[in-house]
Structure 1
Amino acid sequence: MTIPEKRLAEEEEKEVKKANTDTFTKGIAGIKPEFVVKSDSISNFVNYNDDEAEGGDRNGPEEKGGNKKNNKKNRGQNKKRDLKQHKGSIRLCPSLMDPNSDRQCVSKLGKECKFSHDINEYLQSKPEDIDGICPVYQALGYCPSGLKCRWLKSHYNKEINELIQDVEKYNIVQKLNYEVNKIDNGIKYDLQKKKYNYELAEPIIKFIDSLVNTEDNNKLKQEERKDNESEYHESKFKSAEKKKINLKNAKIVSPLTTVGNLPYRRLMKTLGADVTYSEMVLSKELSMGHNPEWALPRAHSSEYPGFGVQIAAARHWSAAKACEVLYKQCNSISEINLNCGCPIDLLYKSGQGSALMDQPSRLLRILRSMNLTSGDIPVTVKLRTGVKENKNTALNLVKRVLEEGNVAAITLHGRSRQQRYAKEADWKYIEEVGKVVKDYNENQLENKDLTDIQPTYFVGNGDVFSHVDWYNGISLQGVDSVMAARGALIKPWIFEEVEAQQYLDKSVSERLDIYKNFANFAIEHWGSDEYGVNLSRRFMCEFISFTHRYIPIGIMERLPPKLNERPPKWIGRNEMETLLGSGDYKDWIKITEMFLGKAGDEFQFIPKHKSNSYE
């Protein structure tokens, strides 16, 4: 090519780039003109806070242009939101909740009962029953909420004061539809009173403590180490003795705070997910028997095998204790995952989450202690590229983790802590780290018999929003699978698209069926009484705070959709599609009323992000 021809080609390339740039604005999703609401108002754009999925507390980015004073009011998080739900003015005695049972009131034991014993008064004080059949009764053939159920008329004979039960159905269904990893109250009491016998963790903690050299009393430390080594002979589990996991091309839902609850994960299993994770569990609080933490490892029977419990830890002793009690008390866990990626300040300042990225020796001690106390449950780890932007440390850290040989899988989120969600995930760096894991696995196979070695799986994470993103990810060297987080929240059927290898333009009725399933699963989990319904409604609103961001494929001007692109204000192909895309939390409550009945005056929900608060 001559110089003039080269210059002409460069000029043509510039014109093409200019034309493409003029066609759409960077960061703004392409909507077909007939669906865009014509308005110059800045309120056309919704200011999302993507840290919500990880429990973040950082304010969202300020919108460009417009009135800065008004923008400031409409950004950041509602950090002091009160989500406690009303429990009812008249509380019926538990002995009367199920008229069919022979449960006795405590008053018959000589104690004073603080509850009401007037069934008619209680029934009259209840809100009007919700129309339809009780989701719990429909699923199980029996409703444990008894007279408290908000769908009571569907399974209660008022004339003879008797709950209707389908015993045959209950006996069949309870073997398939049940929750796992429930801890015994006696064990929880021992944890709370520090009476639990950590027969695995205690000697391992003592042993690892002895390996930590300090400048002070180094000679004494060496003597202690010799004593401890004579008392405790390390018998590390070989990989073949751990339960095997297979993450090759697995469809994985990321651990998610608040929205990654049991009903949501159960929903994702019906939509094609292979692997799910609990919400992040604080290891120290778990080992102390705290009720809120012990609610998190609970899972639905459909999740196992393929269910992982993610823990956060700052010290090896808390991780060791948490792993031992999970191993002994929970029989439906496929892996225990160490969170080394959570960016929120609360965790970071306490030395947990992404803070461990800057403390590699401590991180390795934690992984080692987890591996030695988790029994046959394999240990995995989730990392970020690093703590600071433009200073990636994951590659060297992964090399050290592989040398220790303590993990069955490594997940890498392609952003640093400092970046949060400000920039797109760095998949080039993910591939670079993936090559290291691939080389390690190949060397292991050369040095050991195939029967003795399990590969260390490597999973990429970041900006996965379509089948295109998923397949692009697994095509990279060393990447065994791809984990979806926000993509699986905004578009829960993402794995159906992966399976079909095409975009699915879900109809309104199909999307409503997804909400219906979530509502039913939520009622089964939290209960069909007023308190359970309000909790289900609250978490359904949290779910819709993500799903409303979905832009129907049929109204998009260009594909693939991008997570970090924000749409102008748009209308759907019908009124319901427009409602499902509303960013106003009052509309979210309206959607829940289709499945959970009308929200009472006592129901409270404050959206996590201020941009959804149109007060």
Structure 2
Amino acid sequence: MEATAKELTVGQPPNIPTEPPPLARKPVTEMSAEEMVAKSIVPVKKEFIYPVPNRLNSDNNGPPTDAVPASTTSSAPVSNEKKSKRQLKRERNQEKQSTRNLCPMVAKTGITDSCPYNEKCRFSHNIEAFKAQKPADLEGNCPFEGNEEGPCPYGLGCRFLGTHKTNSASGIPNGLKNSEINGLKKDVQRLLWKNKMKFPKADAQLKVLGLMGPTKSKKTPIPNNEEENGCGEMGTDPIVQIQVPEKAESNNNGDDPRPQKRGKSLNDQTCEVIGEINGSSFEVVDVDTNVDQIETDKSLKLHPREKKLIDFKNKLYLAPLTTVGNLPFRRICKALGADITCGEMAMCTNLLQGQAAEWALLRRHVSEDLFGVQICGAYPDTVSKAAELIEQQCRVDFIDINMGCPIDLVVNKGAGSALLSKPTRMKNVIQSVSSTVDIPITIKARTSYYEGRSRIDSVIADVWEWGASAVTIHGRSRQQRYTKQPDWEYVYECTRKAPETLQVLGNGDIYSFSDWKTHKSACPQLSSCMIARGALVKPWLFTEIKEQRDWDISSGERLNILKDYVRFGLQHWGSDTKGVETTRHFLLEWLSYTYRYVPYGVLEVMPVKLNWRPPAYFGRDDLETLMASESAADWIKISEMLLGKVPDGFTFSPKHKSNAFDKAENG
């Protein structure tokens, strides 16, 4: 029987006067391998276990401060304080006006007068003052020098300026780097900001499905003797009357669809060209001119089986991972054997508002030959419009709809795993999106919202008819989060219930080649398995699965992987000071997972499980010992080995608190 985190860290309950069982009191150094496994502790060989008490072999209730060897600690502070958005914005504005932030155009060209804004520019143009306070160059070569993309786009601001062999003033390329695609165009962003973007395909399908909701039409209302249809004021449209399906979302136990917010009425007979999209002009036409054709010739609509489908069979699929699953990390996993990659979860409402930070989650590297994006929304209108926009603006192979996110911030808005408790809305979301776009649609869901209720197996047979070509099932309910073992037997049951045309993928705590092999052999109908947190701890898991072996990777090989990540990060976020610190931040977020890896060479029993907690132990060399530290100060020290000293006043606190195993919020 596996023990919970509470049983491992908390002593004898005050209401039980009897002596606790010997196993609960025995320190890790005196436990056998079988006893450690029973307590969900990684069975490390006795000669490697660190003798100082730590959170797993202490009799007291609180973790001691000397759980890590003092020789590995850093003087860099670690802070749990979170700043408000207003404070962060104020600090950013102050930073822009300082001499530390040189105008990007001036930095690229090295000419003070090159900025078109001149005195109105919000950045500094003082080159000499910038050079006087600029930190020393970092060791190594500029990640952009020698590339086919041209000279370094950061010019004087690059932290590898001394290695530049070309003159920064000789033709610096502007815009996005050639190796990355799916950027948001400025003209499209302005239309989204002004709420003037039109979505003809999504609006037409929403009308057909009866999910449009009321409009702000100023036309004459329907006479009292005419019966309103299920779309409210849409009955005033003289062009077409739409029959509402029997199971429209408005009949879902009183859960009426949201009113739509529009900057311009859809009845405006206009035609606009908003710019070049994927090499061709995209014409925005009025919805009403196409509804008749859609209604009269439904045979033109592609059934999901007629679309180009993605073959997930036996392919290694890297899950969309919040925060850590960024583009540089996906490049690492791709190099180590991942076949399919997916961007981080993007909120539909933020995409439709033109938020640059949200659109950055859709960026794709050219090495990602099979790439999808994951979107999350609560209502058919927002999700279908976001999908149409992505199809227009981006090059993706599939769109995954998140129906499994357990985070309160998402669930409280009716999105993520909350959709499992509203099957009619779930159906409407899938139908509206699949009928709007021509690229394949997949969904990712949990077993249920509440344990034993609103389970995914009740709709698994219908998902294909709704329009999804594949479904990934995480073997835990939303209520479970990550505190219990995934129910793979239930995943197998759902797989057998699914139609043969629907591809089903399993997900949950795959951490070794043997885990992958076990699940595939237990249910041959399973198309593949999605790998999530296991890839965060050891991204070489893809190599292990492909080569069917357990890789006893050395600390030097792990450090080389981190070096590649830093290089990819500098190419993605930039080689100037801001880009260096952004790369450092995401590196530290990743290190908050990688420390949990225990090398095979120090294990008593193999393989280990993802939820087992490693005791404090010595590695086979100093670097391996440092990488095993659970202290954020030591993660900072590793980042300093790769990116130089941290700035004065630097602090770091993991976003997901992943070192608390039962409170991870991502995946």
Provide TM-score, normalisation by structure 1.
0.81
Say yes or no: does 1:342 pair with 2:405: yes
Aligned counterparts of 1:107 and 1:258: Cα–Cα separation in 2: 35
Q: What is the 5 A alignment of 1:136-155?
A: 136-139=144-147, 140-155=149-164
Aligned counterparts of 1:592 and 1:186: Cα–Cα separation in 2: 38
Residues 312 and 353, structure 1, Cα contact 8 Å, conserved in 2: yes
Q: What is the 5 A alignment of 1:241-252?
A: 241-252=306-317
Q: Specify which of 82, 86, 91 is matched with residue 80 of structure 1.
A: 82
* Aligned counterpart, 2:606: 559
Q: What is the 5 A alignment of 1:539-558?
A: 539-558=586-605
SS at match of 1:227: coil
How far the C-alpha of 1:117 sits from its partner, in A, is: 3.3
* Aligned counterpart, 2:472: 411
Q: Specify which of 135, 141, 145 is matched with residue 127 of structure 1.
A: 135
Q: Specify which of 464, 468, 471 is matched with residue 514 of structure 2.
A: 468
How far the C-alpha of 1:26 sits from its partner, in A, is: 2.5
* Aligned counterpart, 1:193: 194
- CA 1:415–1:29 in structure 2 vs 1: closer, same or farther (change >3 Å)? same
- CA 1:569–1:153 in structure 2 vs 1: closer, same or farther (change >3 Å)? same
Q: Which amino acid aligns with 1:253?
A: L
Q: Specify which of 466, 483, 487 is matched with residue 426 of structure 1.
A: 487
* Aligned counterpart, 1:600: 647
SS at match of 2:228: helix
- CA 1:398–1:100 in structure 2 vs 1: closer, same or farther (change >3 Å)? same
Aligned counterparts of 2:575 and 2:441: Cα–Cα separation in 1: 37
Say yes or no: does 1:487 pair with 2:481: no
Say yes or no: does 1:313 pair with 2:323: no
Q: Specify which of 421, 424, 447 is matched with residue 385 of structure 1.
A: 447
- CA 1:285–1:211 in structure 2 vs 1: closer, same or farther (change >3 Å)? closer
SS at match of 1:34: helix
Stretches of structure 1 that go unaligned for 5 or more consecutive residues are: 1-17, 46-64, 72-76, 442-454
How far the C-alpha of 1:349 sits from its partner, in A, is: 1.0
Aligned counterparts of 1:466 and 1:549: Cα–Cα separation in 2: 14
Residues 32 and 556, structure 1, Cα contact 8 Å, conserved in 2: yes
How far the C-alpha of 1:194 sits from its partner, in A, is: 0.9
Greater CA deviation, 196-205 or 521-530?
Answer: 196-205
SS at match of 1:411: strand
SS at match of 1:163: coil
Q: Which amino acid aligns with 1:259?
A: V
Residues 490 and 547, structure 1, Cα contact 8 Å, conserved in 2: yes
Aligned counterparts of 1:263 and 1:44: Cα–Cα separation in 2: 37
Residues 155 and 165, structure 1, Cα contact 8 Å, conserved in 2: no
Aligned counterparts of 1:459 and 1:511: Cα–Cα separation in 2: 29
Aligned counterparts of 2:480 and 2:226: Cα–Cα separation in 1: 40
Aligned counterparts of 1:166 and 1:496: Cα–Cα separation in 2: 41
* Aligned counterpart, 1:536: 583
Stretches of structure 2 that go unaligned for 5 or more consecutive residues are: 1-30, 66-78, 215-224, 244-290, 661-667
How far the C-alpha of 1:208 sits from its partner, in A, is: 2.4
Aligned counterparts of 1:24 and 1:303: Cα–Cα separation in 2: 38
Residues 425 and 463, structure 1, Cα contact 8 Å, conserved in 2: yes
How far the C-alpha of 1:125 sits from its partner, in A, is: 1.4
SS at match of 2:460: helix
How far the C-alpha of 1:93 sits from its partner, in A, is: 3.3
* Aligned counterpart, 1:209: 210
SS at match of 1:386: coil
Deviations 1:517-548 (A, max 9, x none): 10000000000111110000000000111111
Q: What is the 5 A alignment of 1:98-177?
A: 98-99=108-109, 104-106=114-116, 112-139=120-147, 140-155=149-164, 162-163=167-168
How far the C-alpha of 1:567 sits from its partner, in A, is: 1.5
Residues 106 and 125, structure 2, Cα contact 8 Å, conserved in 1: yes
Q: Specify which of 354, 361, 367 is matched with residue 417 of structure 2.
A: 354
- CA 1:554–1:70 in structure 2 vs 1: closer, same or farther (change >3 Å)? closer
Say yes or no: does 1:303 pair with 2:303: no
Deviations 1:263-289 (A, max 9, x none): 111111111101111111111221121
How far the C-alpha of 1:605 sits from its partner, in A, is: 1.9
- CA 1:241–1:165 in structure 2 vs 1: closer, same or farther (change >3 Å)? farther
How far the C-alpha of 1:390 sits from its partner, in A, is: 3.9
Residues 210 and 221, structure 1, Cα contact 8 Å, conserved in 2: no
SS at match of 1:136: coil
Q: Which amino acid aligns with 1:209?
A: G
Say yes or no: does 1:500 pair with 2:547: yes
Aligned counterparts of 2:448 and 2:593: Cα–Cα separation in 1: 27
* Aligned counterpart, 2:241: 227
| Aligned pairs, number | 539
How far the C-alpha of 1:609 sits from its partner, in A, is: 5.8
* Aligned counterpart, 1:327: 391
Residues 441 and 469, structure 2, Cα contact 8 Å, conserved in 1: yes
How far the C-alpha of 1:100 sits from its partner, in A, is: 7.0
How far the C-alpha of 1:23 sits from its partner, in A, is: 6.8
SS at match of 1:416: coil
* Aligned counterpart, 2:50: 37
Aligned counterparts of 2:113 and 2:329: Cα–Cα separation in 1: 34
How far the C-alpha of 1:295 sits from its partner, in A, is: 1.1
How far the C-alpha of 1:237 sits from its partner, in A, is: 1.9
Q: Which amino acid aligns with 1:532?
A: G
Q: Which amino acid aligns with 1:379?
A: I
Pairwise CA RMSD of aligned residues? 3.2
* Aligned counterpart, 1:15: none
SS at match of 1:200: helix
SS at match of 1:339: strand
- CA 1:212–1:156 in structure 2 vs 1: closer, same or farther (change >3 Å)? closer
Aligned counterparts of 2:120 and 2:356: Cα–Cα separation in 1: 27
Q: Percent of counterpart pairs with the same letter? A: 39
Aligned counterparts of 1:378 and 1:79: Cα–Cα separation in 2: 43
Deviations 1:461-497 (A, max 9, x none): 0010011111112221321100110100000100100
SS at match of 1:561: coil
Deviations 1:376-433 (A, max 9, x none): 21100011110122446111121221343x0111100000001111111111111111
Residues 81 and 606, structure 1, Cα contact 8 Å, conserved in 2: no
- CA 1:102–1:533 in structure 2 vs 1: closer, same or farther (change >3 Å)? same
Aligned counterparts of 1:129 and 1:32: Cα–Cα separation in 2: 43
Provide TM-score, normalisation by structure 2.
0.75
How far the C-alpha of 1:112 sits from its partner, in A, is: 3.4
Aligned counterparts of 1:239 and 1:256: Cα–Cα separation in 2: 27
SS at match of 2:153: coil
- CA 1:283–1:586 in structure 2 vs 1: closer, same or farther (change >3 Å)? same
Which is helix-richer, 1 or 2?
A: 1
Residues 592 and 658, structure 2, Cα contact 8 Å, conserved in 1: no
- CA 1:611–1:495 in structure 2 vs 1: closer, same or farther (change >3 Å)? closer
Deviations 1:45-75 (A, max 9, x none): 9xxxxxxxxxxxxxxxxxxx6336999xxxx
* Aligned counterpart, 2:257: none
